[in-house]
Structure 1
Amino acid sequence: MHVKHRRFHQPAHPALARARLSPRREALVYWILGLLWTSGIGWLVFHYFLRQAGEFGEMSHPLEAWWLRLHGAGAFAGLWLIGLLWAIHLVPGWKSRRRPSGIVLSGLLSVLVLSGYLLYYAGGDRMHEVVALVHWLVGLALPLPLLLHGLRGRRARGSQRGA
């Protein structure tokens, strides 16, 4: 009697199998992060490049506030998303000990959450300027580490299937 060994088709670490996002959840992650990224860029463009001349000097574009409101709504969805990912993706990923890209991505998202909080609640013009710059730079750069993390996960799954 011949017995097939299934261990070659399973992930190297059992936690990796549990850390995989379903296609629906993966789409949700990209949709929410895309909303945040797009609304953040929209706000930056309207705040810095589409200001209007007013009776008393330069003033905000009327749509600037709407971009910020959309970004704020996306931030609430993003916090919910972090909770979801914590339970189904991060904890199993930490247990696998194979995801340095996940550590980097988690750190960057933590910087965005903290700096977003400080932008909303912290006082002082100088502090606000520094925190805003950090928030914008990390937020604008986030798609690259996110893409690398996703590609790394796909490559790991592909090599496990081929083994």
Structure 2
Amino acid sequence: MTAQSGMPAHTVRGAAFGLSRGHRHWLYRVMLVVALTGLAWMVLHYGRGLIGVDGHAARSAEAWCMKLHGGAVMAALVAFGSVLPHHVRLAWRARRHRLSGVGLISAVLVLVLTGYGLYYLGDEDWHDCASWGHQVVAALAVAACLIHVRAGRKSRAR
């Protein structure tokens, strides 16, 4: 028991705050698939001429990237939600990695909202703005994730 909280020490200072190695790897893999399918769509959408893919083939591949991206996002939302009850709560109580955690959670929330808007809102002007915003925030989310994971690894190594 910790003197301050009355909680067993392992619930506050345990390895990865309650995420097993398998849970972490599942989370990382799902997030990687989301990032890679989004990146593949961007390369096909903006770099058709650079990669030598003709219009019809690129549009077909873009459509498949979006289908895979959407499916991966569903899994990612489950994975992300699975860390909220224990990992986030315990790390917040322990005052660990708050800045990177809040940045990551904020980026994910913005991505969910803009992704929903891209899929369900039909306003063309809004769509272009949201698309660029979604892509920029996605890049920031990848950076926030890497920073957060690195900070956690440094903590576990001590």
Output the TM-score relative to the length of structure 2: 0.81
Cα shift at 1:69: 0.1
Contact 2:107 2:140 in 1 (8 A): no
Q: Give the match for residue 69 of structure 2.
A: 71
1:151 & 1:101 partners in 2: Cα distance?
Answer: 10
Partners of 1:117 and 1:94 lie apart in 2 by 28
Question: Residue in 1 aligned with 2:114?
Answer: 115
- Name the CA distance, whole Å, in 1 between partners of 2:146 and 2:55: 40
CA offset at residue 65 of structure 1? 0.6
One-letter amino acid of the structure 2 residue matched with residue 123 of structure 1: G
CA distance in 1, matches of 2:88, 2:55: 48
Match of 1:3 in 2: none
- The 1-side partners of 2:105 and 2:94 are apart by 15
Which residues of structure 1 form unaligned runs of 5+? Answer: 1-6
Q: Distance in 1 between matches of 2:107 and 2:40?
A: 21
The aligned counterpart of 1:4 is: none
Matches within 5 A, 1:11-160: 14-17=11-14, 19-50=17-48, 52-53=54-55, 61-99=59-97, 100-159=99-158
Tell me the equivalent position of 2:6.
Answer: none
Distance 1:142 1:115 in 2: 13
Measure how far apart 1:104 and its partner are.
Answer: 0.9
Task: Kindly provide the amino acid, as one letter, of the partner of residue 115 in structure 2.
Answer: G
Q: Deviations over 1:71-90 (max 9, x none)?
A: 00011001111221112311
Percent identity over paired residues: 30
| In structure 2, C-alpha distance between the alignment counterparts of 1:111 and 1:53, rounded to whole Å | 31
Instruction: Give the unaligned 5+ runs of structure 2.
Output: 4-8
State the SS of the aligned residue for 2:68.
Answer: helix
Question: By percentage of residues, which structure has more helix?
Answer: 2
Number of residues of Structure 1 aligned to a counterpart in Structure 2: 147
The Cα offsets for residues 91-117 of structure 1, whole Å up to 9 and x where unpaired, read as 222222222211111111111111111
Distance 1:97 1:121, change over 3 A: same
Work out whether residues 27 and 80 of structure 2, in 8 Å CA contact, stay in contact via their aligned partners in 1: no
1:69 & 1:30 partners in 2: Cα distance?
A: 20
* Preserved CA contact (<8 Å) 1:36 1:74: yes
Q: Say which SS state the counterpart of residue 98 (structure 1) adopts.
A: coil
Q: Distance in 2 between matches of 1:154 and 1:60?
A: 39
AA aligned to 2:29 is W
Letter in 1 for 2:110: V
Larger relative contact order (Cα-Cα within 8 Å, sequence gap ≥ 6):
1
**What is the Cα-based RMSD across aligned positions, in Å?**
2.6
